[in-house]
A and B are shown apart, each in its own frame.
Chain A
Amino acid sequence: MNLLLVLPLMIPLTTAALSMLAWRRLPLQRVLSVAGSAGLLGCSVALLAFVWANGIAASQMGAWPAPFGITLVADLFSAIMVVLTGVIGLAVAVYSLASMDEPRESFGYYPLLQVLLMGVCGAFLTGDLFNLYVWFEVMLMASFVLLALGGEPDQLRGAIKYVTLNLVASALFLAAVGILYGIAGTLNMADLARKLEIAESGTLTALAMLFLIAFGIKAAVFPLFFWLPASYHTPPVAVSAVFAGLLTKVGVYALIRVFTLIFVGDTGFTHTLLLVIAGATMVTGVLGAAAQYEFRRILSFHIISQIGYMILGLGLAGLTSSPALATMSLAGSIFYIMHHIIVKTNLFLVSGVASRLGGSFELKKLGGLYRSSPGLAILFLIPAMSLAGMPPLSGFFAKLSLIQAGLAAEQYVIVAIALVVGLLTLFSMTKIWAEAFWKNPPAASAEPPKLTAGERWNLLLPIGLLALLTVTIGFAAEPVFLLATRAAEQLVDREGYIRAVLGEPQ
């Protein structure tokens, strides 16, 4: 058993359990939360290094051989996602110290955050579809409570929509898993990939659509995204930020996993559909954002728009017969996910500080932040420009790689859409800049509240480090892109994954 595969689950679980034991001792819970998240980041980096050096790592729980037992697998894509989970977990844990109010803290905020991280890591590491369902539920359960914790009317309104749509998605996912088991007699992903190569394709395509809907709701693609902008702006900022960074990306991860490994028989239909969905998601998301004047709702609509880019690479990869081009497209998607998780979480964290200083999330009520806190303004500009795809930041290279792949695949319509959407993203970001940072503050408002030194440290340190990471990815794009390409190669090489899990065929 490979310990590195188990630690990303054990560390958050242990931290959550210890925090529960320290229920009444908030200072201890705070320390545990930061220490646990730092531990998760540390072991996830070790896992990535291990997978980079030794290839795909698979581990059978309880030593039951592969298609029967529970399998944990980390290929480079999974390992990258776990590292990003660690990064976001740590950033949000530190940010929460200064931004979470005491009632929420004393009702189990910290243990819930750890359970959420555990669910996300589990979903990335499992090699079994039913287990994926279970990890989704672990993650959802924690997210339900985090979303509703505090019980403000808007939060409850958002939570009802979020809970309902996610439960419908779970029911569809479960039904799809059941039918798949009826057809193939196994739920181990590698075993499925091997068995379904010879199965009848009509039923499989129908099943693929069921999975597409179930994961599509969780990933918030067009036309299944309505729960996202209805709920993400209601909880406290730290919760929004971790949701924005990680939760929809678990849906995207699941889509990429099943549509590169299992449902590759009828790509002419399934992946064309993915490409159409990608285009529609990009456009609706960015147009939705253009109509909004609430900081976090603008950002929420941009999550949707960005999900479209990630699906774009997946669609392109399925439509080409050349492995090199498929690798290039998937590498674009993976690079985009890495860039997006960091940047989007960071923007949400900035929105929290802006509303702390300006007293509101409504852009109309904000203003003058550039004059009162220029440091924050720069910390906003970095992720905002990166999101819009300005060189030399990470977003530019993420978009560039996808657009190159699109041009190489001769899918000019979707490339044009991606470019226009990038321009409209810039429009949204300049709107936030102009309204919240540049224009004069509305009326003569009272003296803006000052942050204490400790608060400033806890709020701005994670933002600053995430911004630094964005800039680093931008300037060190080549090694990061090499990592994404290696991860994509592993996704394209299905046999390699199957061999790593099941061993050599007899």
Chain B
Amino acid sequence: MSTLLAILIGCLYAAGVYLILRRSLFKLILGLVLLSHGANLLIFTAGGLTRAQPPIIAPGELDLPANSPDPLPQALILTAIVIGFSVLAFALVLFHRAYQTIGSDDPDELKVSDQ
């Protein structure tokens, strides 16, 4: 399962980088979305995948049962998803506004301000 997810994460990263390198602001956003999804899945996988009961301490016990999964990566991912969602929502509005103002979807048109 980990191998499969590792390959999937690799594909997400590759596709994300490819889209970022395309000459289009819209594809740039899609590339950023894929990169952030790749990072989230990576945390999920790196936290260790187990088929086990939910990590709940039974009444009267002091510790988790053996082989319990680690719930923390999911909490981290949840935070990262919320942050990623809001940042990308802002980026979408920014890029849309830039498209309206500059009148082009081509990143090469952004060079004007660098000269």
Contact = CB atoms under 8 A, between A and B. Distances in A.
Contact of A182 (B32, B47, B86): B47
Nearest to A164: B28
Interface stretch (A40-48, A51-59, A138-146, A315-323): A138-146
Given A167-B32, A174-B80, A178-B46, A159 B94 contact: yes
Given A151-B101, A174-B39, A157 B87 contact: no
A179 interface: yes
B55 to A, nearest CB: 14
Contact of B42 (A159, A167, A178): A178
Nearest to B17: A168
A168 B32 contact: yes
Contacts of B73: 178, 181
- Residue from B20, B39, B45, B88 whose CB has the most chain A CB atoms within 10 Å: B39
A145 B90 contact: yes
A20 interface: no
Contact of A154 (B70, B107, B113): B113
B113 A230 contact: yes
B86 to A, nearest CB: 7
Given A141-B86, A157-B112, A178-B76, A163 B94 contact: yes
A171 B38 contact: yes
Given A144-B90, A178-B76, A171 B101 contact: no
Contact of A175 (B25, B38, B72, B102): B38
B59 interface: no
Given A177-B43, A178-B43, A181-B76, A156 B102 contact: yes
A153 interface: yes
B94 A182 contact: no
Contacts of A179: 42, 46
A168 B20 contact: yes
Interface string B24-63: 0100100010011011101111111000000000000000
Contacts of B28: 164
B98 A160 contact: yes
Contact of A171 (B35, B47, B102): B35
Contacts of A230: 113-114
A167 B91 contact: yes
A158 interface: yes
A168 B84 CA distance: 11
Nearest to B99: A156
B95 A160 contact: yes
A266 interface: no
B83 A137 contact: yes
Contacts of B72: 181
A174 B42 CA distance: 9
B43 A171 contact: no
B82 to A, nearest CB: 10
A273 B20 CA distance: 27
Nearest to B76: A130
Contacts of B90: 141, 144-145, 163
B15 to A, nearest CB: 13
A365 interface: no
Contacts of B107: 160
Nearest to A154: B113
A186 to B, nearest CB: 9
A376 B84 CA distance: 44
Nearest to A152: B101
B110 interface: yes
A148 interface: yes
A436 B38 CA distance: 49
B87 A140 contact: yes
B22 interface: no
A181 B94 contact: no
B102 A174 contact: no
Contacts of A153: 101-102, 113
B12 to A, nearest CB: 10
Nearest to A185: B70
Nearest to A147: B94
A398 to B, nearest CB: 30
A234 interface: yes
B97 interface: yes
B47 A160 contact: no
A181 B43 contact: yes
18 contacts: A130-B79, A140-B87, A153-B113, A156-B97, A156-B98, A160-B98, A160-B110, A163-B90, A164-B91, A167-B35, A167-B87, A167-B88, A168-B35, A171-B32, A171-B38, A181-B43, A181-B76, A234-B113
Interface of A: 130, 133-134, 137, 140-141, 144-145, 148, 151, 153-154, 156-161, 163-164, 167-168, 170-172, 174-175, 177-179, 181-183, 185, 229-230, 233-234
Interface of B: 20, 25, 28, 32, 35-36, 38-40, 42-48, 70, 72-73, 76, 79-80, 83, 86-88, 90-91, 94-95, 97-98, 101-102, 107, 110, 112-114
Given A141-B86, A177-B43, 13 more contacts: A130-B76, A134-B79, A137-B87, A141-B87, A154-B113, A160-B25, A164-B32, A164-B91, A167-B35, A168-B20, A178-B39, A181-B43, A183-B46
